[in-house]
Amino acid sequence: MDYYVVDVFTDRNFGGNPAGVCPLGSWLPDETLQSIATENNLSETAFFVEREGHYELRWFTPELEVDLCGHATMASAYVLYNILNVGLDELEFRTQSGILTVTRGDEGLLWLDFPSRPGVAAQKYPSLVEAFGLNRFEVHKSADILVVVENEDVLRSLHPNFDVLKKVREDAEMPNDSFGVIVTAQGSDCDFVSRFFAPNVGINEDPVTGRAHCVLTPYWSKRLGKTSLTARQLSKRGGQIWCKDEGERVKIGGKAVLYLRGEICASWRNTPARS
């Protein structure tokens, strides 16, 4: 099996968020896909199968399959455009979150077309207060929990208690496929900044998170009164994101660069394939 690692939401290696990408001729058993993602030990590994005119796409963390992943979708598009040389202006992916598309823009940008996931005001769950050691913040509930803090300095200084942060899912009565806590503030040199924590699936802090911007974009678009925004994720690796609020959809733009090209040699040849 061909295997690629692409650094996404960055124009340099060792920045952004690395995603594994595995093109498949047909689907392997779910257990095999999960084992590969666990072995890769990246925040997400993407698997896709070409169909007539589109691609079926799935994403796995080291612990489970997720319903939406931005950076691994962009990494898949990068592989299709730049390595497999697919001659399409727009790539269509069919996923658990519906049809997602990726197009190429100016200056090397790739643009994801994703569902908008605006949040609704929620309570300050006790686990959030304890995990972050903060009293002044606001909370919004969407597919992930959005926490808005006072400023960028507060965001940078956070050192969460991840054992306590795992309790947020129960406190907020979130379904099992909703697992992230996004923390955000207005940016000093961009429109907004964020960090993303997902200890429930073995990712204490994700470097750069496309899906989070499905929640962040409508929030900051409304708050700042603008539909085109620039953003940065303040992880150790860091990442730069361009966002557009288009009502029920959001456009999430970024750059990507290939880190690794190789072959997975594990044996799964005798396991039954998924139809």
**Active site (catalytic) residues:** 44
Q: DSSP assignment, residue 201?
A: G
Torsion of CA 19, 23, 29, 34, to 10 degrees: -10
Contact 70, 209 (CB under 8 A): yes
The sign one gets for the Cα dihedral 26, 66, 45, 191 is positive
> How far is it, in rounded angstroms, from Cα 274 to Cα 237?
36
| Tokens 């964020």 found at | 194
SS3 60: strand
Phi, psi of 54 (to 5 degrees): -155, 180
Phi, psi of 162 (to 5 degrees): -70, -30
CB atoms within 10 A of CB 56: 14
| Tokens 């890769």 found at | 40
